[in-house]
């Protein structure tokens, strides 16, 4: 497909939806409302009928379907607050949608009009560069209007409550809120008062859904056969304080991976209980033994170790940590020869990950960042469509 | 045509025939009738007196060979632990609304914690608290605690002697422990000489800094900072060691008395069990929420502690979203196993009382991030219903549950209640019994009826309850305190009016 074709295709797919819009009123969620069945890959009979109409109106659609993002049909989540409620089918849908988004990213102009008119507010209560920028790029690639709110520069620092902040953002026209907060569970509170969609960009120690999904996407791309089920994936380091670890435990065990979490005993507190409660079919192992964890591993994900862990008496020193749990060329030898090295960033080179490993040929750290945009585009797209699905249902 | 009885009005005539009577002080339970005239119990007739120690095989339906009457009549309940928020946080609760809530829950006596703003640490503040109770118009008795330390700051002793003279029933820094072990020892000794107990909130603060939920499976999965069981148990162990030392080293006139409130773990109950076996002067209470709920409620589970919990891996089965701020409480909701051991402690007498730790909060203080939400549950109105749900599930005989709400706490208060009440309440000491000739203080509950917990049905200003919206068993029909109506259910009121009219006409 030539770049020119791609543009035409996009116009074709979105075009009929655009026609349906009431000028100046409907937001792009309405656009999606009209579109999903037309874009459907696996279709119900009535959806097929709808597509026929679309085809009649738009000659180019037939071909478009093969290249357009997968349907949002089957996606029933209004918010993405955690990954614990996502089924394997949900996750598959995210992955397939992200595949399509990645194709869009490969185009000379990686921009589609899907979320035109949708206001995405990025509300970050914690400092972050990569996640915030990744969301911003993802939203802009989908033509959303992006509003950035950093907690330090808003009335949040004047003591405004989260609930009031969310209500204010809603009054300013936000359709979706991407939120990062230092308190576990804060996005649930936002979702309780916001009438649009809330996308958790990381809350406390609890969850970082988009990170886990982009990690999974990266593993699917890079593991032999694209297969995650049955592969041994090690999460290494400060598990206790890590939302990345928690979310990865959910997504990876849901997809059938053999997940090992490894780190100093003080940073594994409570995880034994979690592993012990795992039902058949979920494989989660907790160990302080790095060698046992790495043995036969297909992928190793090192987590950032923060200085404050020393201050709170959980570890004697960074040096001791890196000697015992640092991922280096030497310790990586215990893993499979083709083991992938991952890191959610930002990295402390020389602490949890040796500099020789960080830009190692099997390191997929920069791919994780690039894939992050595709996965976040997929999630923004799916969530925007989910409201429509509900509305359709209510109407029916 | 009579009028609906008003709150505070003397009970002219209350005829309760064919009801289920429980007199925990006398250890009696059975079918019978009771009559109140002009505020006094005039007759108590036991038809089928159940033998002492008898346990109903099925508490819902059975007595000796026949079905239990629907209506329970027992002495009005006594709550050793409530927060009435006045002075300082009248937006969350006042003495008047708190006492109205207590009466709705079947309570005729409440012991008010001293962590108000300012904290109750002088005689003048104790007197103001008592005056507020008198001014409320409610006959519910308020027994105030004074703080252990000045301003509840934990560094020097409060004016204990003056407060005791003014009517303080005991001393507590509840909300926080007395962290300084040396000061705790001195307080125990000093209060003992005043004939007052020390009520301790057992918590080792170094282990609970920033804690959000019970340290365990749920806190791990939800990424909440853990409040370990050992933080309570190590504090209980410290308190008991110091109590033993004070008992051994001081003259009998100092007679220290330690009451551990809102114990929440299996280990704490076991420590108290051993201390009691060793003869230490210690008593303890547990809350209805620690008996009925468990840590899974933080994750959205809404099954009672005695029902099979939702595992974190089957979160799809949860009934509510996680991080509901109404489930944030200190000490935190523990494991189902902990809850069951609290029931065990009630069963074998290790646990003396059920106290609500009624902690009303405004929506402003609760509708925030989970870890920032004010800890506490508005629980005095749902207390009996939650306990009765456990009784119905077979965890404790009904009589033992009623004892833990009446004779148990009365024994904990002991003579101090008489002293404190004698000064303020001309009708004298707590009488948790159904005795002819006594002033009527009793509760009438329809065990077979249910009620819905809503913002409207709760009399407390605090609507912070994890069972808001839910129907609970056991509906309080009336609460009578010192011969006066403290609460009357609308349906009951209509019946009373009819009955009274009939008597007058006849």
Gyration radius of chain B over CA positions: 22
Q: Is A192 on the interface with B (CB under 8 A)?
A: yes
A128 within some domain: no
pLDDT at site A360 = 80
Query: Do B179 and B242 fall into the same domain?
Result: yes
Domain boundary among A20, A47, A68: A68
A328 within some domain: yes
Query: Do B258 and B128 fall into the same domain?
Result: yes
> Which CATH number is A294's domain given?
3.40.50.1370
- What are the residue ranges of helices labelled H in B278-324? 288-292
Q: Give how far the C-alpha of residue A273 lies from the chain's centroid of Cα atoms, to the nearest Å.
A: 26
Name every residue whose Cβ is closer than 8 Å to that of residue A229 and which is 6 or more positions away in sequence: A255, A256, A257
Closest residue, chain B, to A248 (C-alpha) = B221
Q: Is B337 on the interface with A (CB under 8 A)?
A: no
B108 within some domain: yes
How far is the C-alpha of B73 from the C-alpha of A191, rounded, in Å?
Answer: 46
A54 within some domain: yes
Q: Is A278 on the interface with B (CB under 8 A)?
A: yes
How far is the C-alpha of B290 from the C-alpha of B302, rounded, in Å?
Answer: 13
Are the beta carbons of B441 and B431 closer than 8 angstroms? Answer: yes
- Tell me the chain B residues in contact with residue A279 when contact means C-beta distances shorter than 8 Å: 311, 313-314
Give the H or E element holding residue B44: strand B40-50
pLDDT at site B501 = 76
Query: Do B160 and B27 fall into the same domain?
Result: no
B68 within some domain: yes
The residues that bridge with B476 in the sheet, in sequence order, are: B445
A249 within some domain: yes
Q: Is B3 on the interface with A (CB under 8 A)?
A: no
pLDDT in tens, chain A (396 residues): 333 333 333 333 333 333 333 333 333 333 333 333 333 333 334 443 333 333 333 333 333 333 445 566 789 899 999 999 999 999 999 999 999 999 999 999 999 999 999 999 999 998 888 899 999 999 999 999 999 998 765 555 567 899 999 999 999 999 999 999 999 999 999 999 999 999 999 999 999 999 999 999 999 999 999 999 999 999 999 999 999 999 999 999 999 999 999 999 999 999 999 999 999 889 999 999 999 999 999 999 999 998 778 778 999 999 999 999 999 999 999 999 999 999 998 999 999 999 988 778 899 999 999 999 999 999 999 999 864 444 444 544
Determine how β-strand B442-452 pairs with β-strand B71-75: antiparallel
Closest residue, chain A, to B224 (C-alpha) = A184
Domain boundary among B396, B424, B452: B424
Q: Which domain holds residue A308?
A: 209-368
Coil/strand/helix, residue B14: strand
Cross-chain residue pair A185–B322, CB shorter than 8 Å = yes
Q: Is A256 on the interface with B (CB under 8 A)?
A: no
> CA separation (Å) from A239 to A130, A246, A269, A359, B220?
21, 8, 8, 23, 10
Query: Do B376 and B400 fall into the same domain?
Result: yes
B7 within some domain: no
Query: Do B374 and B493 fall into the same domain?
Result: no
Residue in B313, B322, B364 nearest the CB of A279: B313
A177 within some domain: no
Q: Is A179 on the interface with B (CB under 8 A)?
A: no
Domain boundary among A19, A52, A68: A68
pLDDT at site B419 = 58
Residue in B216, B316, B369 nearest the CB of A270: B216
Q: Which domain holds residue B101?
A: 75-205+231-287+331-424
3-state SS string for A165-227: HHHHHHHCCCCEEEEEECCCCHHHHHHHHCCCEEEEEEECCCECHHHHHHHHHHHHHHCHHHC
Q: Is A205 on the interface with B (CB under 8 A)?
A: yes
> Which CATH number is B18's domain given?
2.30.40.10
Name every residue whose Cβ is closer than 8 Å to that of residue B417 and which is 6 or more positions away in sequence: B109, B143, B169, B410, B429, B430
User: B323 to chain A, minimum CA–CA distance in Å?
Assistant: 6
Average the pLDDT over each of A155-159, A178-182, B47-51, B357-361 and give the range with the smallest value.
A155-159
pLDDT at site A17 = 37
- Tell me the chain B residues in contact with residue A161 when contact means C-beta distances shorter than 8 Å: 364, 367-368
Q: Is the pLDDT of residue B56 over 90?
A: no
Domain boundary among B424, B446, B475: B424
User: B315 to chain A, minimum CA–CA distance in Å?
Assistant: 7
Closest residue, chain B, to A275 (C-alpha) = B217
Q: Is the pLDDT higher at A10 or at B305?
A: B305
Q: Give how far the C-alpha of residue B162 lies from the chain's centroid of Cα atoms, to the nearest Å.
A: 26
Q: What is the interface size between A and B, counted as CB pairs within 8 Å? A: 84
B299 within some domain: no
Q: Is B316 on the interface with A (CB under 8 A)?
A: yes
Cross-chain residue pair B312–A274, CB shorter than 8 Å = yes
Coil/strand/helix, residue A337: coil
User: B237 to chain A, minimum CA–CA distance in Å?
Assistant: 24
How far is the C-alpha of B290 from the C-alpha of A156, rounded, in Å?
Answer: 35
Quick one: which of B14, B9, B6 has its CA closest to B500? B14
Query: Do B455 and B492 fall into the same domain?
Result: yes
Query: Do B491 and B394 fall into the same domain?
Result: no
Closest residue, chain A, to B318 (C-alpha) = A85
What is the tally of structural domains in chain A?
2
B140 within some domain: yes
User: B296 to chain A, minimum CA–CA distance in Å?
Assistant: 13
Cross-chain residue pair B312–A277, CB shorter than 8 Å = yes
- State the ipTM, two decimals: 0.91
Cross-chain residue pair A204–B367, CB shorter than 8 Å = no
Query: Do B69 and B105 fall into the same domain?
Result: no
What is the tally of structural domains in chain B?
2
Domain boundary among B397, B424, B451: B424
**If contacts are CB pairs under 8 Å, which of residues 196-215 in chain B contact chain A?**
212, 215
Q: Is the pLDDT of residue B200 over 80?
A: yes
Gyration radius of chain A over CA positions: 22
Which pair of tokens denotes residue B248?
């051994």
pLDDT at site A67 = 41
Query: Do B162 and B44 fall into the same domain?
Result: no
Query: Do B433 and B419 fall into the same domain?
Result: no
pLDDT at site A382 = 96
Is the bond preceding residue A346 a cis peptide, omega within 30 degrees?
Answer: yes
Cross-chain residue pair A185–B369, CB shorter than 8 Å = yes
Query: Do B259 and B362 fall into the same domain?
Result: yes
Query: Do B145 and B256 fall into the same domain?
Result: yes
B324 within some domain: no
> Angle at Cα B413 formed by Cα B412 and Cα B416, nearest 5°?
145
Which residues of B are known catalytic residues? 357
Q: Is B6 on the interface with A (CB under 8 A)?
A: no
pLDDT at site B52 = 52
Are the beta carbons of A365 and A330 closer than 8 angstroms? Answer: no
Question: For chain B, what percentages of helix, strand and coil (3-state, to nearest 5) are there?
Answer: 35, 20, 40
- Tell me the chain B residues in contact with residue A270 when contact means C-beta distances shorter than 8 Å: 215-217, 219-220, 226
Q: Is the pLDDT higher at B491 or at B354?
A: B354
A198 within some domain: no
Cross-chain residue pair B224–A185, CB shorter than 8 Å = yes
* Average model confidence (pLDDT) across chain B: 91
Note the pTM of the prediction, 2 decimals: 0.89
Are the beta carbons of B170 and B198 closer than 8 angstroms? Answer: yes
B308 within some domain: no
Cross-chain residue pair A206–B372, CB shorter than 8 Å = no
> Which CATH number is B131's domain given?
3.20.20.140
pLDDT at site B421 = 58
A204 within some domain: no
Cross-chain residue pair B371–A203, CB shorter than 8 Å = no
């Amino acid at each position: 497909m030539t770049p020119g074709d791609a543009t035409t295709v996009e116009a074709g797919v979105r075009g009929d939806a655009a026609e349906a819009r009431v000028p100046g009123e409907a937001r792009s969620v309405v656009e999606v409302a009209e579109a999903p069945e037309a874009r459907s890959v696996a279709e119900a009979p009535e959806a097929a009928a709808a597509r026929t109409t679309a085809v009649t109106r738009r000659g180019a659609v037939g071909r478009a379907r093969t290249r357009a993002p997968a349907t949002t049909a089957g996606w029933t989540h209004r918010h993405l607050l955690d990954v614990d409620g996502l089924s394997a089918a949900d996750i598959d849908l995210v992955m397939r949608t992200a595949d399509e988004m990645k194709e869009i990213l490969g185009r000379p102009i990686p921009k589609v009009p899907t979320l035109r008119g949708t206001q995405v507010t990025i509300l970050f209560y914690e400092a972050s560069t990569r996640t915030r920028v990744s969301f911003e790029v993802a939203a802009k690639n989908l033509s959303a209007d992006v509003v950035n709110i950093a907690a330090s520069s808003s009335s949040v620092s004047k003591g405004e409550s989260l609930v009031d902040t969310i209500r204010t953002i809603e009054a300013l026209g936000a359709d979706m809120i991407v939120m990062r907060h230092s308190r576990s569970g804060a996005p649930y509170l936002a979702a309780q008062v916001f009438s649009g969609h809330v996308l958790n960009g990381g809350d406390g120690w609890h969850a970082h859904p988009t990170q886990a999904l982009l990690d999974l996407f990266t593993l699917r791309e890079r593991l032999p056969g694209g297969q995650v089920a049955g592969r041994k994936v090690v999460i290494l380091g400060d598990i206790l304080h890590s939302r990345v670890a928690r979310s990865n435990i959910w997504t990876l065990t849901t997809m059938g991976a053999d997940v090992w979490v490894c780190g100093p005993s003080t940073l594994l507190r409570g995880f034994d209980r979690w592993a012990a409660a795992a039902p058949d079919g979920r494989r989660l192992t907790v160990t302080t033994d790095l060698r046992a964890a790495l043995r036969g591993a297909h992928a190793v994900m090192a987590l950032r170790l923060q200085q404050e862990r020393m201050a709170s008496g959980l570890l004697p020193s960074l040096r001791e940590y890196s000697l015992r749990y640092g991922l280096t060329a030497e310790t990586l030898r215990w893993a499979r020869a083709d083991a992938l090295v991952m890191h959610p960033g930002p990295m402390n080179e020389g602490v949890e990950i040796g500099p020789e490993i960080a830009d190692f040929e099997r390191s997929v750290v920069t791919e994780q960042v690039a894939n992050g945009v595709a996965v976040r585009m997929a999630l923004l797209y799916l969530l925007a469509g989910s409201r429509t699905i509900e509305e359709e249902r209510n109407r029916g | 045509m009579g009028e609906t009885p008003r709150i505070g009005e003397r009970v002219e005539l209350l005829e309760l025939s064919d009801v289920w009577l429980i007199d925990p002080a006398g250890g009696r339970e059975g079918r019978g009738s009771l009559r109140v005239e002009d505020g006094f119990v005039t007759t108590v007739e036991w038809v089928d007196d159940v033998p002492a120690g008898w346990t109903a095989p099925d508490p819902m339906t059975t007595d000796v060979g026949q079905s239990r009457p629907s209506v329970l009549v027992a002495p009005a309940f006594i709550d050793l632990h409530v927060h009435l928020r006045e002075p300082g946080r009248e937006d969350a609760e006042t003495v008047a609304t708190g006492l109205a809530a207590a009466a709705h829950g079947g309570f005729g006596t409440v012991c008010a914690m001293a962590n108000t703003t300012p904290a109750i640490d002088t005689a003048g503040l104790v007197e103001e608290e008592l005056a507020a109770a008198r001014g409320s118009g409610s006959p519910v008795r308020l027994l105030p605690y004074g703080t252990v330390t000045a301003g509840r700051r934990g560094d020097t002793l409060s004016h204990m002697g003056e407060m005791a003279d003014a009517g303080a029933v005991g001393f507590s820094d509840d909300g926080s422990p007395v962290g300084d072990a040396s000061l705790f020892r001195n307080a125990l000794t000093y209060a003992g000489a005043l004939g007052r107990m020390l009520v301790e909130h057992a918590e080792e603060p170094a282990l609970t800094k920033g804690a959000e939920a019970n340290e365990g499976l749920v806190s791990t999965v939800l990424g909440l900072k853990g409040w370990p069981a050992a933080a309570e148990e190590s504090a209980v162990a410290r308190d008991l060691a110091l109590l033993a030392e004070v008992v051994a080293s001081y003259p009998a006139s100092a007679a220290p008395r330690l009451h551990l409130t809102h114990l929440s773990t299996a280990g704490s109950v076991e420590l108290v069990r051993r201390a009691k076996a060793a003869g230490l002067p210690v008593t303890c209470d547990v809350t209805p929420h620690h008996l009925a709920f468990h840590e899974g409620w933080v994750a959205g589970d809404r099954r009672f502690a005695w029902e099979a919990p939702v595992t974190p891996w089957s979160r799809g089965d949860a009934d509510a979203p996680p991080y509901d701020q109404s489930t944030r409480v200190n000490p935190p909701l523990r494991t189902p196993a902990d809850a069951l051991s609290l029931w065990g402690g009630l069963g074998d007498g290790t646990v003396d009382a059920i106290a609500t730790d009624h902690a009303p909060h405004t929506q402003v203080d609760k509708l925030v991030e989970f870890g920032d939400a004010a800890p506490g549950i508005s629980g005095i109105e749902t207390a009996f219903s939650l306990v009765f749900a456990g009784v119905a599930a077979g965890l404790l005989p009904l009589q033992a549950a009623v004892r833990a709400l009446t004779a148990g706490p009365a024994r904990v208060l002991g003579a101090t209640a008489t002293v404190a009440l004698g000064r303020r309440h001309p009708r004298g000491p707590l009488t948790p019994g159904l005795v002819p000739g006594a002033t009527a203080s009793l509760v009438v509950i329809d065990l077979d009826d249910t009620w819905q917990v809503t913002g409207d049905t709760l009399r407390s200003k605090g609507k912070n309850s994890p069972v808001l919206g839910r129907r609970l068993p056991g509906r309080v029909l009336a609460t009578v305190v010192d011969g006066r109506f403290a609460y009357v259910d609308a349906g009951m009121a209509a019946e009373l009016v009819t009955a009274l009219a009939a008597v007058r006409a006849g």
